[in-house]
Amino acid sequence: MFAAWTVKYKPKTLSEVVGNREAIEKLVTWVQSWNKAVPKKRAVFLFGPPGIGKTVTVEAIADDLNMELVERNASDYRTEEAVQKFAGLASQSGTLFGKKRLILFDELDGITGREDRGGVGAIAQIVKTALVPIILIANNAYDPRLGSVRYYCELIEFKKPPAGEVMKHLSRICRSEGIAADESALKFIAQRSEGDVRSAVNDLQALAQGKKTLTYDDVSWLAYRDRKDVIFNVLRMVFYGKSADAAKRAVDMADVDPDMLFEWIYENLPYHLRDAHDLSGAMNSLATADLYRGRIQRSQNWVLTRYVVDFMTAGVAMARERTQPAGFVPLRFPMRIRMLSQTRAERQMKAAIGLKIKRRCHVSVNRGAKEILPFVRIIFENSVNMAADLAKSLDLDEAMIEYLSGTKRQTKAILKKLS
Protein backbone atom coordinates (compact mmCIF):
# COMPACT_ATOMS: atom_id res chain seq x y z
CA MET A 1 0.00 0.00 0.00
CA PHE A 2 1.26 3.46 -0.93
CA ALA A 3 1.73 6.17 1.69
CA ALA A 4 0.31 9.59 0.91
CA TRP A 5 3.16 12.08 0.63
CA THR A 6 0.99 14.76 2.26
CA VAL A 7 1.19 12.60 5.39
CA LYS A 8 4.71 11.27 4.92
CA TYR A 9 6.19 14.76 4.46
CA LYS A 10 3.88 16.63 6.78
CA PRO A 11 5.84 19.36 8.60
CA LYS A 12 6.93 18.27 12.07
CA THR A 13 8.39 21.61 13.18
CA LEU A 14 7.66 25.24 12.39
CA SER A 15 10.85 25.50 10.33
CA GLU A 16 9.37 22.97 7.88
CA VAL A 17 6.08 24.83 7.35
CA VAL A 18 5.90 26.41 3.89
CA GLY A 19 5.38 30.18 3.84
CA ASN A 20 3.46 32.54 6.17
CA ARG A 21 6.47 33.34 8.38
CA GLU A 22 4.92 36.59 9.64
CA ALA A 23 1.63 34.93 10.59
CA ILE A 24 3.46 32.05 12.27
CA GLU A 25 5.65 34.44 14.28
CA LYS A 26 2.55 36.32 15.42
CA LEU A 27 0.86 33.07 16.46
CA VAL A 28 3.92 31.85 18.39
CA THR A 29 4.16 35.19 20.21
CA TRP A 30 0.52 34.91 21.25
CA VAL A 31 0.90 31.33 22.49
CA GLN A 32 4.04 32.18 24.47
CA SER A 33 2.31 35.20 26.04
CA TRP A 34 0.26 32.72 28.11
CA ASN A 35 3.44 31.97 30.08
CA LYS A 36 3.19 35.45 31.61
CA ALA A 37 -0.55 35.95 32.00
CA VAL A 38 -3.89 35.25 30.37
CA PRO A 39 -4.00 37.59 27.35
CA LYS A 40 -6.91 39.88 26.57
CA LYS A 41 -7.89 37.69 23.62
CA ARG A 42 -8.05 34.12 24.87
CA ALA A 43 -8.39 32.62 21.41
CA VAL A 44 -6.82 33.09 18.01
CA PHE A 45 -8.76 32.70 14.78
CA LEU A 46 -6.60 31.45 11.87
CA PHE A 47 -8.20 31.91 8.47
CA GLY A 48 -7.22 31.58 4.83
CA PRO A 49 -7.61 29.29 1.78
CA PRO A 50 -7.50 25.51 2.25
CA GLY A 51 -4.26 23.57 1.87
CA ILE A 52 -1.85 26.36 2.88
CA GLY A 53 -0.74 24.98 6.26
CA LYS A 54 -3.02 26.38 8.99
CA THR A 55 -3.59 23.09 10.79
CA VAL A 56 -0.04 21.76 10.40
CA THR A 57 1.26 25.05 11.83
CA VAL A 58 -0.74 24.54 15.02
CA GLU A 59 0.41 20.92 15.28
CA ALA A 60 4.03 22.01 14.74
CA ILE A 61 3.73 24.68 17.45
CA ALA A 62 2.47 22.08 19.90
CA ASP A 63 5.46 19.86 19.10
CA ASP A 64 8.03 22.68 19.20
CA LEU A 65 6.74 24.07 22.51
CA ASN A 66 6.10 20.62 24.05
CA MET A 67 2.37 21.25 24.54
CA GLU A 68 -0.52 18.81 24.68
CA LEU A 69 -2.71 19.40 21.65
CA VAL A 70 -6.43 18.67 22.05
CA GLU A 71 -7.75 18.68 18.50
CA ARG A 72 -11.12 18.09 16.86
CA ASN A 73 -12.70 18.92 13.51
CA ALA A 74 -16.16 20.24 12.70
CA SER A 75 -17.96 16.89 12.69
CA ASP A 76 -17.10 16.38 16.38
CA TYR A 77 -18.70 19.53 17.81
CA ARG A 78 -21.88 20.50 16.02
CA THR A 79 -23.94 20.72 19.21
CA GLU A 80 -23.50 22.57 22.50
CA GLU A 81 -23.32 19.25 24.33
CA ALA A 82 -20.54 17.99 22.06
CA VAL A 83 -18.55 21.20 22.50
CA GLN A 84 -18.79 21.06 26.28
CA LYS A 85 -17.83 17.40 26.34
CA PHE A 86 -14.80 18.05 24.16
CA ALA A 87 -13.44 21.35 25.45
CA GLY A 88 -15.41 22.47 28.49
CA LEU A 89 -13.28 20.90 31.21
CA ALA A 90 -10.12 20.87 29.07
CA SER A 91 -10.24 24.67 28.76
CA GLN A 92 -10.23 25.08 32.54
CA SER A 93 -7.61 22.60 33.73
CA GLY A 94 -4.03 21.53 33.15
CA THR A 95 -2.67 18.13 32.18
CA LEU A 96 -1.78 15.26 34.47
CA PHE A 97 1.95 15.54 33.73
CA GLY A 98 2.31 19.31 33.89
CA LYS A 99 2.35 19.98 30.14
CA LYS A 100 0.70 23.13 28.90
CA ARG A 101 -2.43 22.48 26.89
CA LEU A 102 -3.47 23.87 23.49
CA ILE A 103 -7.05 23.42 22.21
CA LEU A 104 -7.77 23.43 18.47
CA PHE A 105 -11.20 23.73 16.85
CA ASP A 106 -10.50 22.90 13.21
CA GLU A 107 -12.72 23.40 10.14
CA LEU A 108 -15.02 25.80 11.95
CA ASP A 109 -16.84 26.49 8.67
CA GLY A 110 -18.34 23.03 8.98
CA ILE A 111 -20.53 23.71 12.02
CA THR A 112 -22.54 26.58 10.59
CA GLY A 113 -25.05 24.54 8.59
CA ARG A 114 -28.46 23.15 9.49
CA GLU A 115 -26.96 20.43 11.66
CA ASP A 116 -25.41 23.02 13.97
CA ARG A 117 -27.41 23.19 17.17
CA GLY A 118 -25.63 25.67 19.39
CA GLY A 119 -22.07 24.70 18.55
CA VAL A 120 -20.81 28.18 17.66
CA GLY A 121 -22.45 29.78 20.70
CA ALA A 122 -20.97 27.15 23.00
CA ILE A 123 -17.50 27.76 21.59
CA ALA A 124 -17.91 31.50 22.23
CA GLN A 125 -18.81 30.84 25.87
CA ILE A 126 -15.76 28.59 26.36
CA VAL A 127 -13.45 31.14 24.74
CA LYS A 128 -14.63 33.90 27.10
CA THR A 129 -13.48 31.98 30.22
CA ALA A 130 -10.69 29.76 28.88
CA LEU A 131 -7.59 29.29 31.02
CA VAL A 132 -5.59 27.68 28.20
CA PRO A 133 -4.93 28.95 24.66
CA ILE A 134 -7.62 28.12 22.10
CA ILE A 135 -7.13 28.22 18.34
CA LEU A 136 -9.95 28.27 15.82
CA ILE A 137 -9.47 27.55 12.11
CA ALA A 138 -11.74 28.35 9.16
CA ASN A 139 -11.36 29.34 5.53
CA ASN A 140 -13.43 32.50 6.04
CA ALA A 141 -13.36 34.13 9.45
CA TYR A 142 -15.73 36.88 8.33
CA ASP A 143 -18.71 34.63 7.71
CA PRO A 144 -21.62 36.44 9.48
CA ARG A 145 -22.58 33.18 11.18
CA LEU A 146 -19.23 33.15 13.02
CA GLY A 147 -19.62 36.68 14.37
CA SER A 148 -20.44 35.60 17.93
CA VAL A 149 -17.12 33.79 18.32
CA ARG A 150 -14.97 36.04 16.12
CA TYR A 151 -15.50 38.99 18.47
CA TYR A 152 -13.50 37.26 21.22
CA CYS A 153 -10.58 36.21 19.03
CA GLU A 154 -7.40 37.70 17.66
CA LEU A 155 -7.49 37.25 13.90
CA ILE A 156 -4.43 35.99 12.02
CA GLU A 157 -4.61 35.60 8.27
CA PHE A 158 -2.71 32.86 6.43
CA LYS A 159 -2.03 33.61 2.79
CA LYS A 160 -1.06 31.48 -0.18
CA PRO A 161 2.71 30.97 -0.13
CA PRO A 162 4.65 32.07 -3.22
CA ALA A 163 5.38 29.46 -5.86
CA GLY A 164 9.10 29.63 -5.07
CA GLU A 165 8.58 28.37 -1.53
CA VAL A 166 6.22 25.64 -2.66
CA MET A 167 8.82 24.58 -5.24
CA LYS A 168 11.52 24.29 -2.53
CA HIS A 169 9.23 22.02 -0.53
CA LEU A 170 8.63 19.83 -3.57
CA SER A 171 12.38 19.73 -4.21
CA ARG A 172 13.03 18.46 -0.67
CA ILE A 173 10.49 15.69 -1.20
CA CYS A 174 12.13 14.68 -4.48
CA ARG A 175 15.56 14.50 -2.86
CA SER A 176 14.17 12.33 -0.08
CA GLU A 177 12.49 10.02 -2.63
CA GLY A 178 15.63 9.80 -4.77
CA ILE A 179 13.98 11.55 -7.72
CA ALA A 180 16.03 13.78 -10.02
CA ALA A 181 13.52 16.51 -10.85
CA ASP A 182 14.00 19.32 -13.33
CA GLU A 183 13.55 22.75 -11.77
CA SER A 184 11.15 23.68 -14.58
CA ALA A 185 8.93 20.69 -13.74
CA LEU A 186 8.71 21.56 -10.04
CA LYS A 187 8.12 25.22 -10.87
CA PHE A 188 5.23 24.26 -13.13
CA ILE A 189 3.59 22.09 -10.44
CA ALA A 190 4.04 24.84 -7.85
CA GLN A 191 2.53 27.49 -10.11
CA ARG A 192 -0.41 25.28 -11.07
CA SER A 193 -1.21 24.63 -7.38
CA GLU A 194 -1.89 28.36 -6.89
CA GLY A 195 -0.48 28.30 -3.36
CA ASP A 196 -2.27 25.11 -2.27
CA VAL A 197 0.68 23.19 -0.82
CA ARG A 198 -1.35 20.05 -0.15
CA SER A 199 -2.56 20.00 -3.76
CA ALA A 200 0.98 20.51 -5.06
CA VAL A 201 2.29 17.55 -3.05
CA ASN A 202 -0.59 15.37 -4.25
CA ASP A 203 0.19 16.36 -7.84
CA LEU A 204 3.88 15.60 -7.37
CA GLN A 205 3.15 12.15 -5.98
CA ALA A 206 0.75 11.30 -8.80
CA LEU A 207 3.30 12.44 -11.40
CA ALA A 208 6.57 11.20 -9.91
CA GLN A 209 5.94 8.19 -7.69
CA GLY A 210 7.86 5.18 -8.94
CA LYS A 211 10.10 7.27 -11.20
CA LYS A 212 13.76 8.18 -10.92
CA THR A 213 13.52 11.34 -13.00
CA LEU A 214 10.85 14.01 -13.50
CA THR A 215 11.04 16.31 -16.51
CA TYR A 216 8.95 19.21 -17.75
CA ASP A 217 7.43 16.93 -20.40
CA ASP A 218 6.14 14.69 -17.60
CA VAL A 219 4.13 17.53 -16.08
CA SER A 220 3.31 19.93 -18.93
CA TRP A 221 0.01 18.19 -19.68
CA LEU A 222 -1.16 18.99 -16.16
CA ALA A 223 -2.86 22.02 -17.70
CA TYR A 224 -5.55 19.68 -19.04
CA ARG A 225 -6.88 19.17 -15.55
CA ASP A 226 -9.85 21.05 -14.15
CA ARG A 227 -8.98 22.12 -10.61
CA LYS A 228 -12.46 23.27 -9.56
CA ASP A 229 -13.08 20.01 -7.74
CA VAL A 230 -10.86 17.31 -6.34
CA ILE A 231 -10.99 14.75 -9.12
CA PHE A 232 -10.03 11.98 -6.69
CA ASN A 233 -13.33 12.46 -4.84
CA VAL A 234 -15.19 12.47 -8.14
CA LEU A 235 -13.64 9.15 -9.15
CA ARG A 236 -14.42 7.61 -5.78
CA MET A 237 -18.08 8.53 -6.29
CA VAL A 238 -17.95 6.52 -9.52
CA PHE A 239 -15.85 3.57 -8.33
CA TYR A 240 -17.44 3.18 -4.89
CA GLY A 241 -20.88 4.76 -5.36
CA LYS A 242 -23.61 2.85 -3.53
CA SER A 243 -26.31 3.89 -5.97
CA ALA A 244 -26.59 4.75 -9.64
CA ASP A 245 -27.79 8.28 -8.84
CA ALA A 246 -24.79 8.96 -6.58
CA ALA A 247 -22.39 7.88 -9.31
CA LYS A 248 -24.15 9.99 -11.97
CA ARG A 249 -23.89 13.08 -9.78
CA ALA A 250 -20.11 12.87 -10.20
CA VAL A 251 -20.51 14.45 -13.67
CA ASP A 252 -21.90 17.65 -12.15
CA MET A 253 -19.31 17.64 -9.39
CA ALA A 254 -16.40 17.20 -11.79
CA ASP A 255 -17.34 20.22 -13.91
CA VAL A 256 -15.50 18.73 -16.90
CA ASP A 257 -16.93 17.51 -20.19
CA PRO A 258 -17.93 13.82 -20.45
CA ASP A 259 -15.05 12.98 -22.81
CA MET A 260 -12.49 14.21 -20.26
CA LEU A 261 -14.17 12.37 -17.39
CA PHE A 262 -14.24 9.22 -19.54
CA GLU A 263 -10.45 9.38 -19.83
CA TRP A 264 -10.03 9.77 -16.06
CA ILE A 265 -12.27 6.78 -15.36
CA TYR A 266 -10.65 4.62 -18.03
CA GLU A 267 -7.13 5.29 -16.72
CA ASN A 268 -7.86 4.69 -13.02
CA LEU A 269 -10.52 1.97 -13.11
CA PRO A 270 -8.17 -1.09 -13.07
CA TYR A 271 -6.47 0.19 -9.89
CA HIS A 272 -9.74 0.53 -7.97
CA LEU A 273 -11.82 -2.45 -9.15
CA ARG A 274 -9.31 -5.22 -8.51
CA ASP A 275 -11.70 -8.17 -8.77
CA ALA A 276 -11.58 -9.59 -12.31
CA HIS A 277 -15.36 -10.11 -12.48
CA ASP A 278 -16.06 -6.53 -11.38
CA LEU A 279 -13.44 -5.07 -13.70
CA SER A 280 -14.82 -7.00 -16.67
CA GLY A 281 -18.33 -5.66 -16.06
CA ALA A 282 -17.09 -2.10 -15.59
CA MET A 283 -14.96 -2.22 -18.75
CA ASN A 284 -17.97 -3.53 -20.67
CA SER A 285 -19.96 -0.49 -19.50
CA LEU A 286 -17.12 1.81 -20.55
CA ALA A 287 -16.97 0.10 -23.95
CA THR A 288 -20.71 0.73 -24.41
CA ALA A 289 -20.22 4.37 -23.41
CA ASP A 290 -17.45 4.61 -25.98
CA LEU A 291 -19.76 3.24 -28.69
CA TYR A 292 -22.19 6.06 -27.99
CA ARG A 293 -19.32 8.58 -28.07
CA GLY A 294 -18.50 7.35 -31.57
CA ARG A 295 -22.12 7.68 -32.67
CA ILE A 296 -22.23 11.24 -31.34
CA GLN A 297 -19.11 12.18 -33.34
CA ARG A 298 -20.55 10.70 -36.53
CA SER A 299 -24.12 11.96 -36.22
CA GLN A 300 -23.67 15.06 -34.03
CA ASN A 301 -26.71 13.84 -32.11
CA TRP A 302 -25.82 15.20 -28.67
CA VAL A 303 -28.97 13.75 -27.10
CA LEU A 304 -27.00 10.47 -26.91
CA THR A 305 -24.67 12.06 -24.33
CA ARG A 306 -27.05 10.91 -21.59
CA TYR A 307 -26.21 7.30 -22.45
CA VAL A 308 -22.49 8.01 -22.34
CA VAL A 309 -22.88 9.47 -18.85
CA ASP A 310 -25.10 6.64 -17.62
CA PHE A 311 -22.81 3.84 -18.75
CA MET A 312 -19.49 5.37 -17.66
CA THR A 313 -20.75 6.37 -14.18
CA ALA A 314 -23.73 4.30 -13.03
CA GLY A 315 -22.69 1.35 -15.19
CA VAL A 316 -19.20 1.31 -13.68
CA ALA A 317 -20.46 1.79 -10.12
CA MET A 318 -23.03 -1.02 -10.36
CA ALA A 319 -20.37 -3.41 -11.73
CA ARG A 320 -18.67 -3.40 -8.33
CA GLU A 321 -19.93 -6.45 -6.44
CA ARG A 322 -16.88 -8.06 -4.83
CA THR A 323 -14.24 -5.33 -4.70
CA GLN A 324 -13.87 -3.76 -1.26
CA PRO A 325 -12.80 -0.10 -0.82
CA ALA A 326 -9.00 0.13 -0.87
CA GLY A 327 -6.73 2.31 1.20
CA PHE A 328 -4.79 5.11 -0.43
CA VAL A 329 -4.53 4.52 -4.18
CA PRO A 330 -2.46 7.11 -6.10
CA LEU A 331 -4.40 9.00 -8.73
CA ARG A 332 -3.09 8.46 -12.25
CA PHE A 333 -3.51 11.12 -14.88
CA PRO A 334 -4.93 9.86 -18.19
CA MET A 335 -2.07 8.53 -20.30
CA ARG A 336 -3.86 9.28 -23.55
CA ILE A 337 -4.21 12.94 -22.60
CA ARG A 338 -0.57 13.01 -21.60
CA MET A 339 0.51 11.56 -24.93
CA LEU A 340 -1.60 14.07 -26.85
CA SER A 341 0.04 16.89 -24.91
CA GLN A 342 3.55 15.58 -25.41
CA THR A 343 3.03 15.14 -29.18
CA ARG A 344 1.16 18.41 -29.66
CA ALA A 345 4.17 20.22 -31.15
CA GLU A 346 4.78 17.42 -33.66
CA ARG A 347 1.11 17.32 -34.66
CA GLN A 348 1.11 21.08 -35.14
CA MET A 349 4.22 20.82 -37.34
CA LYS A 350 2.64 18.06 -39.46
CA ALA A 351 -0.51 20.16 -39.88
CA ALA A 352 1.54 23.19 -40.94
CA ILE A 353 3.44 21.16 -43.54
CA GLY A 354 0.16 19.53 -44.61
CA LEU A 355 -1.22 22.99 -45.29
CA LYS A 356 1.80 23.76 -47.52
CA ILE A 357 1.23 20.50 -49.40
CA LYS A 358 -2.49 21.28 -49.75
CA ARG A 359 -1.80 24.58 -51.48
CA ARG A 360 0.61 22.98 -53.92
CA CYS A 361 -1.04 19.61 -54.56
CA HIS A 362 -4.74 20.55 -54.11
CA VAL A 363 -5.47 17.92 -51.47
CA SER A 364 -6.82 18.22 -47.96
CA VAL A 365 -4.50 19.13 -45.08
CA ASN A 366 -5.21 15.78 -43.45
CA ARG A 367 -4.39 13.81 -46.61
CA GLY A 368 -1.28 15.89 -47.21
CA ALA A 369 -0.01 15.23 -43.68
CA LYS A 370 -0.87 11.51 -43.62
CA GLU A 371 -0.23 10.31 -47.18
CA ILE A 372 2.25 12.68 -48.82
CA LEU A 373 4.38 13.97 -45.93
CA PRO A 374 6.05 10.56 -45.22
CA PHE A 375 7.40 10.46 -48.80
CA VAL A 376 8.57 14.05 -48.55
CA ARG A 377 10.45 13.11 -45.38
CA ILE A 378 12.23 10.25 -47.15
CA ILE A 379 13.38 12.67 -49.84
CA PHE A 380 14.64 15.19 -47.27
CA GLU A 381 16.57 12.52 -45.39
CA ASN A 382 18.30 11.14 -48.49
CA SER A 383 18.64 13.79 -51.21
CA VAL A 384 19.89 17.30 -50.50
CA ASN A 385 19.25 18.52 -54.05
CA MET A 386 15.67 17.23 -54.28
CA ALA A 387 14.96 18.42 -50.74
CA ALA A 388 16.12 21.93 -51.62
CA ASP A 389 13.87 21.97 -54.70
CA LEU A 390 10.88 20.75 -52.66
CA ALA A 391 11.54 23.22 -49.86
CA LYS A 392 11.52 26.06 -52.37
CA SER A 393 8.44 24.76 -54.16
CA LEU A 394 6.44 24.25 -50.96
CA ASP A 395 7.78 27.45 -49.34
CA LEU A 396 8.99 25.62 -46.22
CA ASP A 397 10.66 27.52 -43.39
CA GLU A 398 13.80 26.43 -41.54
CA ALA A 399 11.89 24.67 -38.72
CA MET A 400 9.94 22.60 -41.24
CA ILE A 401 13.11 21.68 -43.10
CA GLU A 402 14.79 20.57 -39.87
CA TYR A 403 11.75 18.47 -38.93
CA LEU A 404 11.70 16.72 -42.31
CA SER A 405 15.46 16.19 -42.63
CA GLY A 406 15.81 14.68 -39.17
CA THR A 407 19.34 15.91 -38.40
CA LYS A 408 20.95 19.31 -38.06
CA ARG A 409 23.73 18.28 -40.43
CA GLN A 410 21.25 17.45 -43.20
CA THR A 411 19.34 20.66 -42.45
CA LYS A 412 22.48 22.76 -42.85
CA ALA A 413 23.27 21.06 -46.18
CA ILE A 414 19.75 21.77 -47.53
CA LEU A 415 19.80 25.40 -46.33
CA LYS A 416 23.23 25.89 -47.91
CA LYS A 417 21.85 24.58 -51.19
CA LEU A 418 18.95 27.02 -50.95
CA SER A 419 21.17 30.06 -50.28
Check residue 224 and give its pLDDT.
45
β-pairing, 213-214 vs 134-138, is: unpaired
- Cβ of 8: how many Cβ atoms within 10 Å? 13
User: What is the SS3 string spanning 188-253?
Assistant: HHHHHHCCCHHHHHHHHHHHHCCCCEECHHHHHHHHHCCCCCCHHHHHHHHHCCCCHHHHHHHHHH
pLDDT along the chain (419 residues), means of 10: 74 89 91 87 87 89 87 60 58 60 79 55 79 86 78 88 90 91 89 84 81 82 51 77 77 67 86 88 93 87 84 90 72 68 72 88 85 88 90 89 89 88
Q: Looking at the structure, give the CATH architecture of the domain made up of residues 163-224.
A: Orthogonal Bundle (1.10)
Separation between Cα atoms, residue 31 and residue 134, nearest integer Å = 9
Separation between Cα atoms, residue 267 and residue 277, nearest integer Å = 18
* Amino acid making up residue 31: V
Separation between Cα atoms, residue 160 and residue 194, nearest integer Å = 7
Check residue 290 and give its pLDDT.
92
Check residue 219 and give its pLDDT.
79
Sign of CA pseudo-dihedral 69, 72, 77, 81:
negative
DSSP string, 77-111: -SBHHHHIIIIITTTT---TTS--EEEEE--GGGG
Which 3 state secondary structure label does DSSP give 272? helix
Separation between Cα atoms, residue 76 and residue 210, nearest integer Å = 37
Check residue 29 and give its pLDDT.
92
Separation between Cα atoms, residue 60 and residue 66, nearest integer Å = 10
Q: Rounded to the nearest 10 degrees, what angle do helices 384-394 and 373-382 cross at?
A: 140
Q: Residue 226 in contact with residue 256, Cβ under 8 Å? A: yes
Give residue limits of the domains in the chain. 20-157, 163-224, 231-336, 344-418
Residues 6 or more apart from 149 whose CB is under 8 A from it? 43, 45, 108, 120, 123, 124, 127, 136
Check residue 172 and give its pLDDT.
92
Q: Do domains 20-157 and 163-224 have the same CATH topology?
A: no
Q: Residue 289 in contact with residue 312, Cβ under 8 Å? A: yes
Separation between Cα atoms, residue 150 and residue 105, nearest integer Å = 13
Q: Which CATH class is domain 20-157?
A: alpha beta
Closest to 57 in 3D by CA, of 137, 176, 141, 127: 137
